[in-house]
Amino acid sequence: MAKTETKKEKFSLDTRVRLVAENNGGKGVNMPKWFTLPQYKELRQLHIDICKQLVELSVANGNYPITYLVYFAVGKNAHRKEVFEDGYTKIDEKKANKIFSWLKIAAKYHKNDKLFRNPNAAHALCRFYDKFSTKTKDFKAALERMESNPKINLKNAKALVEGMGIGKQTEETELEAAEGAMEPAVVNA
């Protein structure tokens, strides 16, 4: 039994999702024992169906890594082992497809195909989607605010976020906005 548990730890999230999706028995391969109990049948089936949808999305987008995909399709913590083992309960295919579309647009704009699979780029685009707009025209307008750069630094999402003008406002910008709002009113004498 110890060998199975050790082996279980070595599976990546990508592999675990694919194992669950490809299992026709509906048992939830490599899931905790409680997951196979009869009272969790609905949760188990929902989790299996979501895993199947994740695999379909991944395959449709050039075997996009599921480890990154769950971040914007299932939830920001979905990559964690504990969240996976509790069973996925929702998936946002509309958002996932929109982020894939935007990743392709950004990769083409910057003439850098690696951008499509970059998790930091996906993170930045999720931020735009969640905080600013879900419309592609707004995304394209934000993208055009930055200069096309095939060598854009994507070691974190900051370069893309700031380049598109969706970063946090600096204290100086906030101060200027506050000063503009507090201009004295002109009184006619």
**What is residue 40's predicted lDDT score, i.e. its pLDDT?**
85
**What is residue 70's predicted lDDT score, i.e. its pLDDT?**
93
**What is residue 162's predicted lDDT score, i.e. its pLDDT?**
76
Q: What is the DSSP string of 93-110?
A: HHHHHHHHHHHHHHHHHH
φ/ψ of 176, rounded to 5, equals -60, -40
Query: Tokens representing 108?
Result: 């083409």
**What is residue 62's predicted lDDT score, i.e. its pLDDT?**
92
**What is residue 1's predicted lDDT score, i.e. its pLDDT?**
42
Q: Which residues of the chain have pLDDT under 70?
A: 1-9, 24-28, 156-157, 167-189
